[in-house]
Amino acid sequence: MRRHAQIRRYLTAFDTARLPQVFTDVLIIGSGVAALRTALEVAPALRVALVTKSGLTESNSYYAQGGIAAAIAPKDSVESHVADTLATGCGLSDEAVVRQVVEAAPECIRELVDWGADFDKTDGRISVGREGGHSAPRIVHARGDETGKEITSMLLAGVIRNGAIDIYENTFVIDLLAVDGAVVGVLAWHPRHGILIVRAKRTVLATGGLGRVYRETTNPEVATGDGLAMAYRAGAVLSDLEFVQFHPTTLYIAGASRHLISETVRGEGGRLVDKTGSAFMHAYHEMGDLAPRDVVSRAIVDHMRATGATNVFLDLTGLGTGVRERFPGIAKACARFDIDIALDLIPVRPSAHYMVGGVRVDAFGRSSLRHLYAGGEASSTWLHGANRLGSNSLLEGLVYGRVIGRHIAEDLAGASSRGADAGGAPERVYSDATPSTRGELHLPDVRDSLRSLMWRYVGIARNEEDLTEADALIEFWQSYVLDKVFEESVGWELQNMLALGRLMAWAALSRTETRGVHFRSDYPERDDEHWARHVLIARDTEPWFE
């Protein structure tokens, strides 16, 4: 039985009776595709507060390069997209959810076009590319490799124009407020107003992923898993935290921030080569450079180890000079290091990219806590199973954003007719968390140590010895960080990252097999007899399986 750290229910002391309060119908935390699509579905019928901890464009959605997977090409089909998603999910995808999302994809594309999305076209028709794991070209993209920017910007414009949506930027949500198992709002911090309460009839977590828990990641600075950690403290069920997808190709320049190199470049003919210029992927998988991401990531790590290299290379030189216009974002990022993608090899290696697991939700996006929903990367719908098929993430955010928005609107309309959620004096919530007097902390050092540990021991390849050591070290760090009461986001983020790092190690220890993105070198085979099931975790319980 693994020991639980003494994780506070709330990270700081407060009393709702003594704090300024904001009231709204629906509170949405985040500003990515899932958050924005939910807001647009709910408003103007209901009042919405959209809260994000940084600027509106700081999200994984905004920086997404690849595109949106949708079976819109004449030679493609929904059934093929379903089959590819299920195959990549390695036996853990929920087929009903897969069909729900995939069948909605063509309509989502039409809706985005109607709203003004400018997708790339060929001869007047929307162009589609191909990525690893897809049996047909079905990746809808915009401005080459700036699909996330195009979609998010378009949705943001709609949100900003909507008079029923109040936007709170640079506002850090510290904790969910819950009364009798129902979420009633959040405790938040604003740089000008300090700590405040946002009361809501329904709350939606669309806080994105947790890539910054790892030393090597494609994710922006904001991706510290805050939504998952606050949901865990509140008692929500989390699912599949062992499944972290590592993107095989990120620009690797020592000392520089990592930059994603979309796998679409391999779909259009780019090759992975080693330091001798030799292509190597066919030695690892029959699909070669278009193998699923987990296969490519492990192959790169194995090949680097075999050749004594710190990286491999992407070779786009065979695609001609037009590759610069086809992938302008990648070309610009590489040019900062004097790399011409049409002429030079691009140094790459894998990085943490996408949290497959998250807050467990049902077909309507509802969590195990009443009145709390989750969408996008913060949620676990069981769409992706043990591995996400490329470009299904923006699609999931769009589909479930609409699903969640519609369900909330219908639910609150029904509640109003029943006389529920009618108001009255809000219940008082308070926390008496007291600051610890034990020692001084250098937060950047603890954060860097955690990220390095997660990369080494809870990364692409895992084993019991490493995971056990990770669990023990994180527990030790938790013992003198989680008892502190911080007054700024850097401390709260670190507490969230420590909580999640240990939960991820627990989940990875529990799953004694290899499946999808979870590779156990000490259990290298898939074990359907014992492990065709999900790992679930909630506060103050041992992991259980379903």
- Tell me the domain boundaries of the chain: 15-65+146-243+356-418, 247-352, 436-545
Amino acid at 304: M
DSSP H or E run through 491: helix 489-510
pLDDT of residue 1: 38
**What are the beta bridge partners of residue 347?**
313
Which residue, among 530, 524, 66, has the nearest Cα to 298 in the 3D structure?
524
Specify the length of the chain in residues.
546
Fold designation for 436-545: Methane Monooxygenase Hydroxylase; Chain G, domain 1 (1.20.58)
Distance between CA 28 and CA 241 in Å, rounded? 23
Active site residue 456: no
Structure tokens at 473: 């070290």
**Alpha helices of 419-481 — where are they, by DSSP H?**
443-457, 464-481
Percentage of the chain surpassing pLDDT 90?
Answer: 85
**What are the beta bridge partners of residue 372?**
203
Give 368-384 as a 3 state SS string. CCECEEECHHHEECCCC
Which residue, among 168, 204, 165, 166, has the nearest Cα to 183 in the 3D structure?
204
pLDDT of residue 254: 83
Is the CATH number of domain 247-352 3.50.50.60?
no
Give the model confidence (pLDDT) of 135-175 as tens digits.
999 999 998 889 999 999 999 999 999 999 999 999 999 99
For domain 15-65+146-243+356-418, the CATH superfamily is FAD/NAD(P)-binding domain (3.50.50.60)
- Average pLDDT for 349-369: 97
Judged against a pLDDT cut of 90, whether residue 463 lies above it is answered with: yes
For all residues of the chain together, what is the average pLDDT? 93
Give the model confidence (pLDDT) of 13-24 as tens digits.
999 999 999 999
Give the model confidence (pLDDT) of 532-544 as tens digits.
999 999 998 888 9
This prediction has a pTM of 0.93
Determine which one of 258, 293, 298, 360 is catalytic. 293
